[in-house]
Structure 1
Amino acid sequence: MSGEEKDAPDLKVVIQIAENPEKGINSVLNLLKEMKFKEVEVVFHQEAIEAVLNPSLVSTLSPARVVACRNSLKAKGINEEKLPLGTIVVNAGVAEIVKRQSEGWIYLRV
Structure 2
Amino acid sequence: MKKIILLTLLFVSSIGLNAQTKNNKEASANFQGLKIVFQLTSADTLIHQNLMNQLKNYWSVAPDTQFEVVCHSAGLNMLLKNTCVIQDDIKMYADKGVSFVACEFSMKKKNVTKDQLVAGSSTVTSGVLEIAKKQQEGWSYIKL
- TM-score, normalised with respect to structure 2: 0.64
RMSD (Å), alpha carbons: 2.2
Choose 95-104 or 64-73, whichever is displaced more.
Answer: 64-73
Q: How does 1:6-45 map to 2 (within 5 A)?
A: 6-7=28-29, 8-19=31-42, 20=44, 21-45=48-72
Task: Find the counterpart in structure 2 of residue 56 from structure 1.
Answer: 88
Q: Could you tell me the percent identity over the aligned residues?
A: 28
- TM-score, normalised with respect to structure 1: 0.81
Higher RCO, Cα 8 Å, sep 6+ = 1
Distance 1:33 1:13 in 2: 15
- In the comparison of the two structures, how many residue pairs are matched? 110
The structure that is helix-richer by fraction is 2
The structure that is strand-richer by fraction is 1
Q: Which runs of 5+ in 2 are unaligned?
A: 1-19, 82-86
Partner amino acid, structure 1, of 2:101: V
Superposition deviation, residue 76 in structure 1: 1.9
Alpha carbons of structure 1 residues 29 and 101: separation in structure 2 relative to 1, 3 Å: same
Contact kept in structure 1, 2:33 and 2:64, CA below 8 Å: yes
Q: Which runs of 5+ in 1 are unaligned?
A: none
Distance 1:91 1:57 in 2: 24
Alpha carbons of structure 1 residues 26 and 75: separation in structure 2 relative to 1, 3 Å: farther
Contact kept in structure 2, 1:69 and 1:93, CA below 8 Å: yes
Superposition deviation, residue 84 in structure 1: 2.8
Superposition deviation, residue 57 in structure 1: 4.6
Contact kept in structure 2, 1:67 and 1:89, CA below 8 Å: yes
